[in-house]
A and B are shown apart, each in its own frame.
Chain A
């Protein structure tokens, strides 16, 4: 039982990171029907910028508590990633807004490769380690261990998600986002500045991505220039699992995917008697995705919507 609980904790922490990234995919898809494949790279840039700031602060000998150092790094990273998200949309997607749907998909992949290579040039090819300056005390819950950092990551993710739901449902800009998602032309006719709404969506998603990037690198203690690829793919899977375009779906899909992966890696070897080992962890996540797509193509929470004209 304690092992089950431990796997659940592992899965929820991992899943909350997936969920934050998945939100970026799903918001953009909801409004533009575009898969922003460069989103994973924004996560990576967020982690890298934070590490650069943290290491620079530590090297300059500033006497601040660890959490303040990371928080200042995070602030810079969020700002950089917001600018980056805005720039990506402006440069790579807006000129292609009326182009066939395949064209922005290709530029998305292009942007992703460009960002990876820029990061490689700036920060090098090796793994960069995250200095162990965050509190990481272990607490015992019914035999399972949970650290301060894990609790913090999970709670912060929940707060951010709650904040996002409020923003989308209760504010003026949120209403503009929903209107644009439903019918961009009509929203424009009703006085919504569609371009501003789209830019805002990218900026918001990128800010969440930056935070997720910091979480991942602090949690695992490392960052490297291609970390965004698999993270992005997993988060995209989570978004599809929950129903792409659906904000609650992305959160559910992310948490679910994290837990499924954790459980699969923990138990698959025992269940199959060693026939399938824990290296099938990643495969299992995608296996679940295929299952969902076959039986419920719109995702767990996705609604079957009429084809938009």
Chain B
């Protein structure tokens, strides 16, 4: 363990040295302004499919921005993507964040997970670099008072409440069991769900835990079975959710299975080995086909990179709102475009993007889905402004 830590430190040091070396190359060449945008997400491990999806969404937005031949501060702009892997690990996330600061990036799109976004946000805040997370939903991220922290997806207070209400009023839950993966995201969402379900009149009969790397859930599911729950909520990601619902069916549980945005992916259905039928999930934001630019985005994205996993449209919006703020401020300097970003209204792919005082997106919608015939189908959308045209 010690040796691994040493190796990480050493490699971080080397990366920093490499970054220092690169700095000599001036950021401007031939009157062209190079704007570096850092994209950070897990590219290895169980969530790499989601990380790759985020990277692709970000890359597409940057390619589109470059195709427009924009001018900022009288110079032609070239946007450059610096993509890094944080392994969905909070420690790695801070190392990578420091590397981004040393690279003097103009803005950050990331990270994917709440558990990585929160510790990294302090580093960006200290360096004054604007960070827009496409997918971190833990409320704490924007509650730390950092002026640089924004997100384009509604947070878990809204999502947990929508899920809790849905479980009780629509699914008729009376006895609710909850499992979470002990990450900032899973635990946070499960806590919000628990509060909402209790407030709506359901009884919490079991609270079990797993990790974001587990594959065996037989024992905790058996414990849940003993409590005769009628709804089981899992706060976690698809890599655990898929196998979990498979084992859930193996044990013959009949409770309704509910997850948050982490489970709302095609991968969840694939990993469940056919057991996902009838499962529910929620996803902040409008369903893709109801999003203002959803159809056009989906066509373009699938042609270029294949199936959308989850957060790609949000990454696209995160980049485009950042670019819009830079253009409006006529500067790519974070200190100059940050106040503009805070007050901006931008027509994004996912919604009309504008931020409240904390940096959360205003008027976020939550949509509920169910697996029908092996696909996620929209059930209903709660809150939010109906598809801004």
Contact = CB atoms under 8 A, between A and B. Distances in A.
Contacts of A221: 242-243, 246, 271-273
A264 B222 CA distance: 12
B155 to A, nearest CB: 24
Contacts of B246: 220-221
Contacts of B45: 125, 226
B219 A262 contact: yes
A274 B207 contact: yes
B140 to A, nearest CB: 21
Interface in B204-230: 207-211, 213, 215-216, 218-220, 222-223, 225-226
Given A125-B48, A277-B208, A6 B215 contact: no
Interface stretch (A27-35, A77-85, A131-139, A293-301): A131-139
A265 B220 contact: yes
Nearest to A133: B273
B209 A10 contact: no
B219 A265 contact: yes
B209 A222 contact: no
B178 to A, nearest CB: 11
Contact of A222 (B44, B207, B219, B243): B243
B250 A145 contact: yes
A199 B271 CA distance: 37
B239 interface: yes
A215 B68 CA distance: 54
Given A129-B242, A222-B242, A7 B252 contact: no
A281 interface: yes
B374 interface: no
B270 interface: yes
Interface in B230-250: 239, 242-243, 246-247, 250
A279 B182 contact: yes
B250 A127 contact: no
Given A3-B226, A145-B250, A222-B271, A126 B48 contact: yes
A271 B247 CA distance: 24
Contact of A266 (B43, B223, B274, B275): B223
Contact of A278 (B49, B220, B251): B220
A270 B273 CA distance: 32
B46 interface: yes
A125 B211 CA distance: 19
A39 interface: no
Contacts of A274: 207
A266 B242 CA distance: 21
A126 B226 CA distance: 33
A128 to B, nearest CB: 9
Contacts of A127: 46, 239, 242, 267, 271
Nearest to A138: B252
Contact of B273 (A6, A13, A129, A262): A129
Interface string A93-136: 00000000000000000000000000010000111011110001
B219 A278 contact: yes
A241 B46 CA distance: 30
Contacts of A248: none
Given A145-B251, A222-B215, 16 more contacts: A3-B225, A125-B44, A126-B46, A127-B242, A129-B270, A129-B272, A138-B250, A145-B250, A220-B246, A221-B272, A222-B243, A224-B46, A226-B45, A262-B218, A265-B220, A266-B219
Interface of A: 3, 6-7, 10-11, 13-14, 120, 125-127, 129-132, 136, 138, 145, 147, 220-222, 224, 226-227, 230, 261-267, 269-270, 274, 277-279, 281
